[in-house]
Structure 1
Amino acid sequence: MLETLKKPFLWIGAIFTYIQNHFKAMLFLLLLVLIFGSQDELKTPNLAIVKLEGEILNVEEILENIDKAQNDENIKGVLLHVDSPGGALAPSIELSMAVKRLAEKKPVVAYAGGSMTSGSYYASIWSNYIIANPGAFIGSIGVLFQAPNVAELAKKLGISEQVLSAGEYKQMGTFTREWTQKERGALKNLIDDAYDLFVKDVATARGLNLAKPDEFANAQVFIASKALNVHLIDEIGSLSSAKTKVEELANITHPVWQKPDAMDKWMKRLESSAHLPLLNTMGYLK
């Protein structure tokens, strides 16, 4: 019985003895692995990936990533990896202008990995080339303004509002009553202006016929093959082919892609799992 109990400890002792006797050799091998096994990690990246994911509301971090890629002289080309249903108008335009500035300095290929619709399509239009996954959704070029009308519910609950305002249209878009015809007209003009801006920028960036917006800008969502037919994208392919296109446009023969920090990746997963959908009703692209 005693001998049986001793056996595991004998094995443990043998392991420690081996480590002690061969410590220098093991340390040397470890150094070799670290030096020669991570040569790619030691190389300076010459290509970058900027991700545009989820609803477009706060774009500060994405803008920072675009600026970093633009100002880093070692980076010769950028892949804009998009999977977003769109979002608010102003942030989408801000991204679009940033991508345009970037594409004027170094090649940018936008890749639709899932959804490149509405505001995220707006953000991508000035890329030098757009490639989409065969199952990606593209387009939805339109503008939406919506707000609930809770007047009946408030009445049933015995809730009434007290409002002081100056200016005929100050309560335009309120959800506590029906909108007046004047308010509806003013909101429609606002949405039409935003839509015209969207369509004009898409037509200019993609070389489309502005006189025929119904062909590409009636808020329809296209599968990748049909998006290709109406020239909203340049090619159908995979993420790998999108990377190859960046390397080609950047004239890079020995590509070294920038890798995300491990801690950043973990934080992104944590943030994604805890994310709650946000509602933004003003100037929403759809």
Structure 2
Amino acid sequence: MSNLMAALFPEGRGALVDEGAAGEIAACLSAAMSDPRAPELMSVQGAAEDGFWPAPGHWMTAYRPYVVANGVLQIPVKGVLLANLSLAWGAYATGYVYIRRALERGLADPQVKGIALLCDSPGGEVAGNFDLVDAIFAARGTKPIRAFAHERAYSAAYSIASAADRIVVSRTGGVGSVGVVTSHTDASVALERAGLKVTFIFAGRHKVDGNPTEPLPDAVKARWQARIDELMDVFVATVARNRGMKAEAVRATEALTYTASQSIAAGLADEIGSLADAVAAFAADLNPSSEDETMSTITEADHAAAVASARSAGETAGQAAGAASAKTRIQAILGADEANGRETLAQHFAFQTDLPAEAAVAALGAAPKAAAPGGSGLAADMAREGQPNLGAPPADQSRMSETDKGAAAAKALLGKA
């Protein structure tokens, strides 16, 4: 297992892993190698070949899963993250090749409405990570992509999660570890005590720089540090772009890991929630109810027509209310006792002024009554003219007195004509 670790994470090359993750990485790799299918799986662990996706029911579907539920494609990002692995090996290891192939298939699949990155990883290799992250970031806007840190999205896994539209962290989960690490093992003292001496035969002055049989020279250490710093610059810039943060703010995290609440405050995540609830909410966002769909299909023209209709209805209602109010006012003026003997004046107040009924009646009461031969009052005037056709004034109004005209208009407005 130490040989596998050395091959995957060689000294001096850099790794995107959480602090103290070496033990967990070794345990994950050991568990994967204990899988009865390990020999067969290792034979296909390189770059994806033709016929990548196994047929339904084939045993390889467990290692190259393609799960779509309620329109959401669930892509695992779990265990140790490795460059040249085309598998999702349970909780132990996931390959960048597999993640990218699943992403590409999901983007092309009409049954997939959104993509969920299910993260639980301490990190992994530098090689292949940033290329994968760029592919995820480039897919934004094609279909919604959401990352779920359940429980952890550290270092290489956080790099991947940061490319999603949103990041949800479980209450006990965490994100972060934006940093790069490598190491050098100095076995010179142990070799000396064991009476062993290693002699290298090589060409090229730097060919054996950083070998474990001697202390690490300062110049070699400085060169390794420059390499790590350069990778850190790429990591920081990638997260800053993905999260819409300033590079200085990302760098200031100094590779810390953050709890759920801390990650929100630091701008490294967007919300806290359980995996089941968060994924269900994501699916609900992607599959609106029929009522929501109906509301979403209202066009600007439909909206304008609805506003115009409402305005017209309001105007009609206002006109009706105004007519009813005018009718009540006229009736109050012409029907008042004070109008008897003052019909012409009453009609003037009712039809030629805007005086409130109370003011008009008060003015009538203060005015002298006019003498009228043959009787007086509105009733007498109406009696002299007889009963006209219902709903219409006399045909020839040119021969009517002002009093007659007012009476006819009053009857029409009051519904008595």
Counterpart residue type for residue 192 of structure 1: D
1:117-143 CA distances to partner (integer Å, 9 max, x unpaired)? 111001111101100001112101110
Partner of 1:54: 79
RMSD of aligned alpha carbons: 2.2
TM-score by length of 1: 0.68
Moved >6 Å (runs of 4+): none
**Which residue of 2 is the match for residue 237 of structure 1?**
273
Q: Secondary structure at the match of 1:142?
A: coil
Note closer, same or farther for the CA distance 1:189–1:215 as it changes in structure 2 (3 Å cut): closer
Q: More relative contact order in 1 or in 2 (CA 8 Å, sep 6+)?
A: 1
String of CA shifts for 1:140-166, please: whole Å, max 9, x gaps.
111001132111111122222222333
The aligned counterpart of 1:182 is 219
**In the alignment, is residue 227 of structure 1 matched against residue 263 of structure 2?**
yes
1:205-284 matches, within 5 Å, as 205-216=242-253, 218-253=254-289
Would the aligned equivalents of 2:122 and 2:155 in 1 still touch at CA under 8 Å?
yes
Residue 201 of structure 1 and its aligned partner are, at CA, apart by 0.8
Instruction: Quote the Cα distance in structure 2 between the aligned partners of 1:130 and 1:214.
Output: 19
CA contact (8 A) 2:122 2:157 kept: yes
Residue number among 175, 178, 187 corresponding to 1:138 in the alignment: 175
User: In 1, Cα distance between the equivalents of 2:198 and 2:107?
Assistant: 51
- In structure 2, stretches of 5+ residues that fail to align are 1-67, 86-94, 291-417
Partner of 1:103: 140
Cα-to-partner distance string for 1:83-119 (whole Å, 9 max, x where unaligned)? 0000111232243123224334211110000111111
Distance change in 2, residues 1:252/1:148 (3 Å): farther
Does the C-alpha gap of structure 1 residues 208 and 152 become closer, same or farther in structure 2, counting only changes over 3 Å? Answer: same
Cα pair 2:137 2:242 within 8 Å, conserved: no
Listed as ranges, the matches of 1:29-108 within 5 Å are: 46-57=71-82, 58=85, 59=95, 60-108=97-145
Give the counterpart of 1:203 among 211, 223, 240. Answer: 240
Cα distance, 1:151–1:104 mapped onto 2, change above 3 Å: farther
Larger radius of gyration: 2
Query: TM-score normalised to the size of structure 2?
Result: 0.47
Once the two structures are TM-superposed, the CA of residue 62 in structure 1 deviates from its matched residue by: 2.5
C-alpha distance in 1 between matches for 2:157 and 2:251? 20
Q: 1:252 to 1:102 in 2, by over 3 A?
A: farther
Give the counterpart letter for 2:73 in structure 1.
A
Structure 1 residues not aligned, in runs of 5+: 1-42, 255-286
Local SS of the residue matching 2:146 = strand
Cα distance change on mapping 1:45 and 1:237 into 2, 3 Å: closer
Decide whether the 8 Å contact of 1:86 with 1:92 is kept in 2: no
Give 1:184's aligned amino acid: K
Q: Secondary structure at the match of 1:115?
A: strand
Give a deviation string over 1:57-94, Cα, whole Å, max 9, x none. 13122322222212212211011100000011123224
**Alpha-carbon deviation of 1:253?**
4.7
| CA distance in structure 1 between the aligned counterparts of 2:108 and 2:209, rounded to whole angstroms | 43
Deviates more, 1:103-112 or 1:161-170: 161-170
Identity of aligned residues (%): 25
Hey, what's the Cα distance between the residues in 1 that align with 2:266 and 2:179?
Answer: 16
